[in-house]
Structure 1
């Protein structure tokens, strides 16, 4: 086999992330010809086609390309890590960090990470890919992101999970709802009232399955892929919902209360999805530290893994 160079892997990692030879060249500060040449040399050295150029549609990775992309990303991270190692002596990190985020978790992931890296490691180039749970994990497996934040139920077979916060669905209500004064609420209690549910899989399927196991049928009036929309509808006392992440108020500023479900509900942890068998870089490790710190702070100095926090505007609770 011909020699594989670090430069070839660095350029291919950029192609895998951007899905464009042009953008990869811009990111690596070289010409398109240099990137194209490196890609051809890497394919020749490995004896496999790694990428297919599609006119007007960028670059698509082959199955072999996807497998190589994860390793190329790791090598690129290690190259960046040499400079980062020097900076770490002075308490700083540097390099490019891309985090995939399941869209309903974006509110809880993106702001604290921007805050953390801006204040502590300003030399880190931080970016995000938002989408469905499988989509953001595919970005990790294809080398376009170093890790992804999603729920445990969404985990793909080729990813391994690092638990960030065990969570369980709770009932989201307006304080004016007839059930809001109860400490615990059963699914049978909820069934007669209008519901607005998260229109994302597997969340919707799991929620309906839990009602089915309880032998009741919910009155589902509306569905939405936006948690913020759902919070606003609940805040107006037009429906209840079942949500993973509690909040003190809706985006419109109306108070919300969250109550545990009385009965058997499956936990569904927030996890960092990482490519199985790939060593974690300093940037990935720092991201895990940042997110755990964020949720520990939200728990008012308590454990970040409290699964039964009840948010009630009449009580002193930290801001979500």
Structure 2
């Protein structure tokens, strides 16, 4: 039996024309999506894709399976919609809180799946700077929210009445301008190798910046912050332009719109945990459904 997640991957590649663009749409890394497609090919017993310099195209077997895949996914969406009418998801509103990275890379695929299954539910998304979204959940301003916490870092108190459920943990990685000497290797880079490097960093109060600088100091690597920015997108753009190097969450490095070099660090102690926050024991059917979609998506997502 074919896994619907892999069928959805095939449809996404057919529509996007490349594995990289399809991965962005689905919230995967390109290698993780390639693994899913390889498993689908083993299930099918035939090559489904041909990769070329512009992207990927489907083989005759891939085109045949594509027609069936769309029918299967449409039937599953119809089943979800019909079940939703039985569980009170034929209307109403779902208010979601998020932070920038999750709102760009993680939330859209889950909301897209939710919208296909429950088109009558009105959706709204509000962006916060963590941990503000947990307060918004506690006050009833949003129904659930994505938030994050850095490890090592200061523990963030969870407001009364709010439930926090981890979804995934990602490493922080080094990003450099393309061709930079520090990104040339394939193995992990010792933190001490960053000594003397100009650093592009977040604002001084950002918990990631404090965690990164503490880890560098412990490794004996003194760095000079050359430039500060409140957002990872700008940090990555400045690094790409040669302003310095930076340590950012992996999904920001992989999904950056500007070209970057990337290197994993040793020890791999700098991490960020992304969680979903919701009200304890009083979730709406819509909020509970989106929580389940988020957990399901990350449970299926292979390690990058």
Q: Shorter-chain TM-score: what band?
A: 0.5 to 0.7
Deviation digits for residues 250-281 of structure 1, max 9, x if unmatched? 32xx4223322111514321111223x33433
1:105 to partner: Cα distance: 2.9
Residue 237, structure 1, aligned to residue 234, structure 2: no
- For residue 226 of structure 1, what is the aligned residue in structure 2? 231
Q: Select which of 260, 269, 281 maps to 1:278.
A: 281
Q: Which runs of 4+ in 1 moved over 6 A?
A: none
Q: Deviations over 1:17-53 (max 9, x none)?
A: xxxxxxxxxxxxxxxxxxxxxxxxxxxxxxxxxxxxx
3-state SS of 2:183 partner? coil
Q: Please state how far the C-alpha of 1:119 moved relative to its aligned partner.
A: 2.3
Question: Shift of the alpha carbon at 1:101?
Answer: 1.1
Q: Which has the higher contact order (CA 8 A, sep 6+)?
A: 2
Q: Which residue of 2 aligns with 1:156?
A: 157
Deviation at 1:104, TM superposition (A): 3.8
3-state SS, counterpart of residue 268 of structure 1: strand
Aligned residue number for residue 292 of structure 2: 289
Separation in structure 2 between the aligned mates of residue 294 and residue 257 of structure 1, nearest angstrom? 28
For residue 211 of structure 1, report the CA deviation from its aligned partner.
Answer: 1.5
CA contact (8 A) 1:112 1:290 kept: no
Secondary structure (helix, strand or coil) at the match of 1:133 reads: coil
SS class of match (2:265): coil
Gaps of 5+ in 2: 1-80
In the alignment, is the contact (CA less than 8 A) between 2:174 and 2:245 conserved in 1? yes
Report the TM-score when normalising by structure 2.
0.62
Task: Determine the structure 2 residue equivalent to 1:257.
Answer: 261
Q: 2:132, 2:301 → 1: CA distance?
A: 33
Check whether the contact 1:93–1:283 (CA below 8 A) recurs between aligned residues: no
CA separation of 1:141 and 1:174: change in aligned 2, threshold 3 A: same
Aligned length: 215
Shift of 1:178: 0.7
Q: Secondary structure at the match of 1:164?
A: strand
> For 2:135, which of 135, 138, 143 is the aligned residue?
138
Q: How far apart are the structure 2 equivalents of 1:162 and 1:206?
A: 22
**1:193 counterpart = 2:197:** yes
Correspondence for 2:117 = 120
Q: Distance in 2 between matches of 1:280 and 1:91?
A: 13
1:98 aligns with 2:101: no
Structure 1 residue 178 corresponds to structure 2 residue 178: no
User: Measured at CA, do residues 93 and 266 of structure 1 come closer, stay the same or move farther in structure 2, by a change above 3 Å?
Assistant: farther
- 2:268 equivalent to 1:268: no
Kindly report the root-mean-square deviation, in angstroms, between the aligned alpha carbons of the 2 structures.
2.8
Secondary structure, counterpart of 2:250 in structure 1: coil
Offset at 1:284?
2.2
1:13-92 paired onto structure 2 within 5 Å? 87-89=84-86
More deviation, 107-116/177-186? 107-116
Which residue does 1:317 correspond to in 2?
none
Please name the residue that 2:34 is paired with.
none
State which structure, 1 or 2, has the greater radius of gyration over its C-alpha atoms: 1
What secondary structure is seen at the aligned counterpart in 2 of 1:132? coil
